[in-house]
Amino acid sequence: MIQSEDITGIILVGGKSSRMGVDKGLLYYKGEHFISTIINAVKPLVKEIILVGNNPAYDRFDLKRVEDLMPDSGPLAAVYTGLTHSNTQHNLVLSCDVPLITPFLLEILLKEWTPGDEVVQFSTNGKKTPLVALYQKSIQDLLDEQIKAGERKLSTVVEMCKTKSLAVGKALASQLKNINTPDEFRKLDHEIEY
């Protein structure tokens, strides 16, 4: 497995949260902000955590926060920003709206990485998860080129990389659930499978 001193955690906190109506990373679930749960899952596995987003409310978490180099350009530009500020080759990238994530699930990404893999992500029921994935800093130039060419979809660029997609079963897939709407937030407890 990759050693923690060789990994940076990059958490994307800059989404518009238009469907939720409030900043998703700052929602409370079981007494903690979503972002706190994600930080706690990532922290034991990495050397440093970088938050990518323009909201200064995230400064309260005492982590390095960097502003999007290309504001309002979506997750592709946010991942590019995170990789630009990372000092490690390996980078665990997560969105701020996956409050069920655990270190166990993230360790799977690290254990399954093999030299040559540029991205390692999960796949559940055929749906890929580029916002819970391990990225190599070496793809930074490709991201930059694609953004400059007008590409906005992270999944499109991930498919251009040497990408490994790991199938996960139903129990682990529940940890990958991203919460985008008030209705999904209300149903959160009812959709967890043990």
Q: What percentage of the chain reaches a pLDDT higher than 70?
A: 93
Measured distance CA(9)–CA(92) in Å, rounded: 5
Q: How does pLDDT run across 83-92, given as a tens digit for each residue?
A: 999 999 999 9
Q: How does pLDDT run across 120-152, given as a tens digit for each residue?
A: 999 998 899 999 999 999 999 999 999 999 999
Q: Where are the domains of the chain?
A: 4-191
Measured distance CA(163)–CA(156) in Å, rounded: 11
Record: fold of 4-191: Spore Coat Polysaccharide Biosynthesis Protein SpsA; Chain A (3.90.550)
pLDDT above 50 (res 93): yes
Q: What's the mean pLDDT in 97-126?
A: 97
Beta-strand pair 127-136/119-124: antiparallel
Q: How far is CA 54 from CA 23, 78, 98, 107, 151, in A?
A: 12, 11, 19, 29, 22
pLDDT above 60 (res 75): yes
The type of residue at 82 is G
Q: What is the pTM of this model?
A: 0.93
pLDDT band of residue 17 (cuts 50, 70, 90) is low
